[in-house]
Amino acid sequence: MSGGSSGHPESPDAPETNPSDTEAKRLIDLLSDYAAGQTLTDDETTEMNLLLADHPELADDRFERAAALLAVAELPPPEAVGALPPRLAERLEADAERFFAEAPPEPLKFSPDTAPAAAVSRRGRAAWRVFLAGAIAGGVAAAVLVSAVVQIEDPPAAVQPIAELPPDQRFADYQRDTLGVAEHPWAVREPGYEQVTGRVAWSDAAQAGYLVFEGLPVNDPAETQYQLWIVDPQRDELPVDGGVFDVAEHLAADGRAYVPIDAKLPVASPAAFAVTVEKPGGVVRSAGPLVLVAPVS
């Protein structure tokens, strides 16, 4: 191992970043340890996630990128590593062929707004109003909240990935690779959905998340689709469209459905996540009943 000194003056140990409090300093240390490849204990992992919830401004992958760039900068010369074995090159090409053969790319899917609207119950509309008022209580004027309409800039669309891992595996990847994931259980269940359990996993930093359901009735895509809405009073009084989904498409072997959140707009500080039942393709103005809510505590 080389010394790595170029004779430059010694620099102080204090980081150039000056966190304003001990919590932030502790979080920076944990993030550094994580990025350096150290194994965090369960307690440290829990501590890191709690601190990330309080300091979302630090929830990014800059330490990981710095570590990766250092690893690249310190790569050895080719003669020390040895050439990539020809058999590996062949296997990689075969992987590429198999990858496309097993999961050919599909075009962008969009269901035009032509299907008949789902029936909207009076109870469902009432629940929607209550949800909105409760979810953003204290944040936005009540007169705006109870207007109970949902407007977004773009119609919903769904992108089909070119290859699919099992839904539970994709969720596991998300949990493993995403910093600052907070989880919020489904806390409000309308009649017919009392049996549903699960949670929302969301990272402000990554602007990505998952819905996890157990016991959510399978919808008939020809009749209705579930649609997610993200309430973010700091951004707007109108919820952000989180995408439409069909339960069957996201069911895993464990019986749960794992649905990636497809937020159409940036979310600053979500107050709640809500699921409605809508006509196929989703809507820009919610007409369906509210069936589930996960408030952000």
Residues found near another protein in the complex (CB under 8 A):
1-6, 8-11, 13-17, 28-29, 32-33, 35-39, 61-78, 80-85, 87-89, 91-93, 95-96, 99-100, 104-106, 159, 161-163, 165, 173, 177
Strands 257-260 and 181-185: unpaired
90 to 17, 84, 170, 249, 286: CA distances (angstroms): 46, 10, 27, 34, 52
Burial class (CB in 10 A: 0-12, 13-18, 19+), 228: buried
Q: What is the Cα–Cα distance from 211 to 260, expressed in whole angstroms?
A: 6
Nearer residue to another protein within complex by CB, 178 or 276: 178
Strands (E), 134-282: 181-185, 188-189, 197-203, 208-214, 225-231, 240-245, 257-260, 272-278
Nearer residue to another protein within complex by CB, 161 or 192: 161
**Least distance CB 175 / another protein (angstroms):** 13
**Least distance CB 92 / another protein (angstroms):** 5
Looking at residue 91, its amino acid is R
Nearer residue to another protein within complex by CB, 28 or 144: 28
Nearer residue to another protein within complex by CB, 91 or 109: 91
Q: What is the Cα–Cα distance from 103 to 234, expressed in whole angstroms?
A: 40
**Least distance CB 178 / another protein (angstroms):** 10
Nearer residue to another protein within complex by CB, 65 or 123: 65
Side-chain half-sphere of 230: how many Cα atoms within 13 Å? 29
**Least distance CB 204 / another protein (angstroms):** 14
Nearer residue to another protein within complex by CB, 1 or 222: 1
**Least distance CB 38 / another protein (angstroms):** 6
Q: What is the Cα–Cα distance from 184 to 194, expressed in whole angstroms?
A: 17
Adjacent-strand bridge partners of 50: none
**Least distance CB 192 / another protein (angstroms):** 35
